Amino acid sequence: MLTTETLLFVLLAYLTGAFPSAVWVGKTFYKIDVREFGSGNAGATNTFRVLGKKAGIPVLIMDIFKGWLSVNYISFSTNIPESAEAIFETQLAFGIAAVIGHLFPIYTGFRGGKGIATLLGLLIGLHAVAALYSILVFVIVFVTSKYVSLGSIIASIAFPILVILILGSTNVSLNLFAFFVPILSLITHQKNIERLLRGEETKVKFGKK
């Protein structure tokens, strides 16, 4: 049952996710709007691509933290649901709101990033073990291919497999959400997929350009 407090936390989670880490770091410290360069996205990957690792690493950490923090807003609630399933669903709602905020940030004209780092923070908050395994998959794919986009896509596809088949989750809400993860990744990476198929996707070089 939705309460006013829950709706307020959903709004807070959206506003948290909407914090434009990449735009803020770029404009504050480099006088550059990263959305005007590279892929045009306000995310960690494009920040690495445009400004290098000194800017990219803080943006990545902030974007992950946005998702994790939003999930954990439930700790500040005075009306915590009684069942574990209801608690999970409430946390999931907060986390999804944060991802939507990152995708469509009110602070910067609704031009955001792809939401993968914030989604990762959400996953760490909901199921840390599965999230860490997904990170491992990402690292393996990225190291062998040098494509961040391919690593993100494969890791997101691996997530429901890890949750349901490897870790044997019986949480219906988690299992349903697990299938949503690769769908979101495929949608937000549509242009990357097209470039990968054409052999035109850029391999990330972690150095300032």
Whether residues 61 and 148 share a domain: the answer is no
Can you tell me the distance from the alpha carbon of 124 to that of 111, in angstroms, rounded to the nearest whole number? 25
Q: Does 209 map to a domain?
A: no
Instruction: Give residue 209's pLDDT.
Output: 46
Q: Does 67 map to a domain?
A: yes
Instruction: Give residue 204's pLDDT.
Output: 67
Whether residues 16 and 76 share a domain: the answer is yes
Q: Please give the tally of structural domains in the chain.
A: 2
Q: What angle do the packed helices 53-71 and 84-103 form, to 10 degrees? A: 140
Going 145 to 146 to 151 to 153, the CA torsion angle's sign is negative
For residue 179, what is the DSSP state?
A: H
In the numeric block, the tokens 């937000």 are attached to 188
Last residue in a domain, options 95, 126, 157: 126
Instruction: Give residue 79's pLDDT.
Output: 81
Whether residues 120 and 136 share a domain: the answer is no
Whether residues 119 and 144 share a domain: the answer is no
Instruction: Give residue 54's pLDDT.
Output: 95
Q: Does 99 map to a domain?
A: yes
Instruction: Give residue 207's pLDDT.
Output: 47
Question: CA triplet 99, 96, 116: central angle to 5 degrees?
Answer: 35
Whether residues 6 and 105 share a domain: the answer is yes
Query: Average pLDDT per run of 10 along the chain, which is 209 residues long?
Result: 88 98 96 92 91 94 98 90 87 96 96 94 95 96 92 96 93 92 93 92 63
Whether residues 74 and 109 share a domain: the answer is yes
Whether residues 110 and 154 share a domain: the answer is no
Whether residues 97 and 5 share a domain: the answer is yes
Containing domain of residue 109, as a range? 1-126
Q: Does 156 map to a domain?
A: yes
How far is CA 46 from its chain centroid? 14
Last residue in a domain, options 107, 126, 145: 126
Q: What is the amino acid identity at position 86?
A: A
Whether residues 106 and 157 share a domain: the answer is no
Whether residues 104 and 34 share a domain: the answer is yes
Last residue in a domain, options 126, 155, 186: 126
Is residue 99 within 8 A of residue 16, CB to CB? The reply is no
Q: Does 7 map to a domain?
A: yes
Whether residues 107 and 33 share a domain: the answer is yes
Whether residues 135 and 112 share a domain: the answer is no
